[in-house]
Amino acid sequence: MRMLTEQHIDDLALGAAVLGTGGGGDPYIGRLLAIEAIRKFGPVKLLTLDEIGDDELVVPAAMMGAPTVMVEKIPNGREIVAAFKALAGYLGQPIAAVMSIEAGGLNSIMPISVAAEMGLPLIDCDGMGRAFPEIQMVTHTIFGVSATPMTMADEKGNTVLINTIDNHWTERFSRSITVDMGGSALIALYAATGKQLKELAVRGTMTYAEEIGKTVRLARQQEANPVEAVRRITGGFQAFKGKVVDLQRRTVGGFARGEAHLDGLDEYNGSKMIIHFQNEHLVAMRDEKYVVTVPDLITVLDVDTGEPITTEGLRYGFRIVVIGIPCDSRWRTQKGLELVGPRYFGYDVDYIPVEQRLG
């Protein structure tokens, strides 16, 4: 057990955005919400998975929707608590702790503000070890845990409770409601016991994100190379260095979809890269060959500062480094690849681990 204070938030938000692989929401908004909540309600207890009882109930809280919308429709912090309380009321049994459903600038941090306000501890884990765009794409699904009951809330005061026969139906219903709620919604779902999470959750995600953030911060202070620092601490592989020369982005069906075209710099001079994304980066092709695909992480960093750049933050002219990072091993199983492999997203390519493609 340790306490998360205001001082931890900056490192955590930055590192979580690295793991967010372009998605998971804007770290700046997450920071504001968490710092406000900690100032008002005090620091948050961070527990390891082993510190919660097998029968205790843990509930993730998150923001759902297109990141392009999220940055324009900033949550006020009340909706997420409304979603969380609605689920608590429906479950009719006490919730012992909060967790992050995914790693990402916003979705790793928002649960801290929920934990602060609800007076609950946060568990040092998540359900992906990265961010993914769709509701069913969590290790909970691999291990048969239902996404529902799921609650959704918007800033106007509307709430929706969903109960489905499987997690794909949850995605379908909740995506429609997210669009109706204006493109983003606050959600609580995937209630699971300590026992279930000890088996299925990705451990230590919060601490890991904080370490990544701290590494970048120190590299900047020591005038070392922050991009190289990220690559080293994540065990990642450099896939490209280039300049954004074209960017297609559309917010459709509740997702931010599009692609970024890069012209190579330095050792990649003359090469080209295309990154396809759906909220998160999905596949990166260098000179028309796949070099990184889901479920491995495709992280885009500013070439000078090492700052992770989200899909909605990417702009023409940005000079970036693209890093491929090995995903959690559960995503590399047959069940994992059925859920989040490149073919699920419509790419005609088999998954090959990034360390085999680039190592």
The nearer residue to its own copies, 164 or 310, going by C-beta atoms, is 164
Q: Where do contacts with its own copies occur on this chain (CB under 8 A)?
A: 86, 156-165, 169, 172-173, 176-177, 179-180
Of the candidates 329, 307, 358, 355, the residue with the CA atom closest to the CA atom of residue 22: 307
Least gap, CB of 177 to its own copies (angstroms):
6
The nearer residue to its own copies, 170 or 205, going by C-beta atoms, is 170
CA distance 279 to 352: 22
In the numeric block, the tokens 């047959």 are attached to: 334
Least gap, CB of 179 to its own copies (angstroms):
7
Q: Where are the alpha helices (DSSP H) in 286-329?
A: none
Residue 93 CB partners (closer than 8 Å, separation 6+): 57
Residue 246 CB partners (closer than 8 Å, separation 6+): 260, 261, 316
Query: What distances in angstroms separate CA 11 from CA 17, 104, 215, 218, 307, one per listed residue?
Result: 10, 12, 9, 10, 11
The nearer residue to its own copies, 185 or 212, going by C-beta atoms, is 185
The nearer residue to its own copies, 177 or 321, going by C-beta atoms, is 177
The nearer residue to its own copies, 158 or 271, going by C-beta atoms, is 158
Asked if the peptide bond before residue 308 counts as cis, ω within 30 degrees of 0, the response is no
Residue 152 contacts residue 186 (beta carbons within 8 Å): yes
Least gap, CB of 164 to its own copies (angstroms):
5
Least gap, CB of 146 to its own copies (angstroms):
12
DSSP 8-state class, residue 153: E
Least gap, CB of 345 to its own copies (angstroms):
21
CB atoms closer than 10 angstroms to residue 122: 21
Least gap, CB of 152 to its own copies (angstroms):
9
The nearer residue to its own copies, 58 or 160, going by C-beta atoms, is 160
Residues in the chain, overall count: 359
The nearer residue to its own copies, 150 or 322, going by C-beta atoms, is 150
The nearer residue to its own copies, 81 or 96, going by C-beta atoms, is 81
Least gap, CB of 124 to its own copies (angstroms):
32
Least gap, CB of 277 to its own copies (angstroms):
25
> Residue 103 phi/psi, 5° resolution?
-85, 135
Q: Where are the alpha helices (DSSP H) in 242-342?
A: 334-340
Angle between helices 205-221 and 6-19 (to 10 degrees): 100
